[in-house]
């Protein structure tokens, strides 16, 4: 099972893994109403590295991007479900409509 970390915990963890020579793969999404397409996407992403980091949009950004009534599942539940998927090593919840700033910080 993958581990859910805060952004403050994730940045040094990724740096440590990279220092040990691990290749970091990165994926992101809302993962609201988890389905088989999500699993296939994450399996493909895992093939790109040794460690798969998955960034999940927070509730506020999902509501802005998907509209009224979303998300269906709260961010912590979505993170827990994604962390339980076999290809996933690390999960972080982020705010904003793009993972760009997070990717800049983590440099996977």
Structure confidence by residue, pLDDT tens digits, 33-46: 999 999 999 999 99
Assess whether the previous peptide bond of 61 is cis (omega < 30° from 0).
no
CATH number at residue 30: 3.40.50.620
The pTM of the full predicted model, rounded to 2 decimals, is 0.94
What is the average pLDDT across 77-83?
98
Average pLDDT value over all residues in the chain: 95
45-75 pLDDT per residue, tens: 999 999 999 999 999 999 998 888 999 999 9
The pLDDT tens digits of the residues spanning 3-28 come to 999 999 999 999 999 999 999 999 99
Is 97 a residue whose pLDDT tops 90?
no
How many domains are contained in the chain? 1
């Amino acid at each position: 099972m993958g581990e859910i970390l805060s952004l403050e915990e994730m940045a040094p963890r990724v740096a440590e893994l990279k220092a040990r020579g691990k290749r970091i793969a990165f994926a992101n999404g809302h993962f609201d109403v988890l389905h088989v397409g999500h699993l296939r996407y994450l399996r493909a992403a895992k093939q790109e590295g040794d460690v798969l980091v998955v960034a999940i949009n927070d509730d506020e950004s999902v509501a802005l991007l998907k509209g009224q009534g979303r998300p269906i599942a709260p961010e912590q539940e979505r993170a827990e479900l994604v962390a339980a998927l076999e290809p996933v090593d690390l999960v972080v919840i982020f705010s904003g409509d793009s993972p760009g700033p997070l990717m800049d910080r983590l440099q996977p």
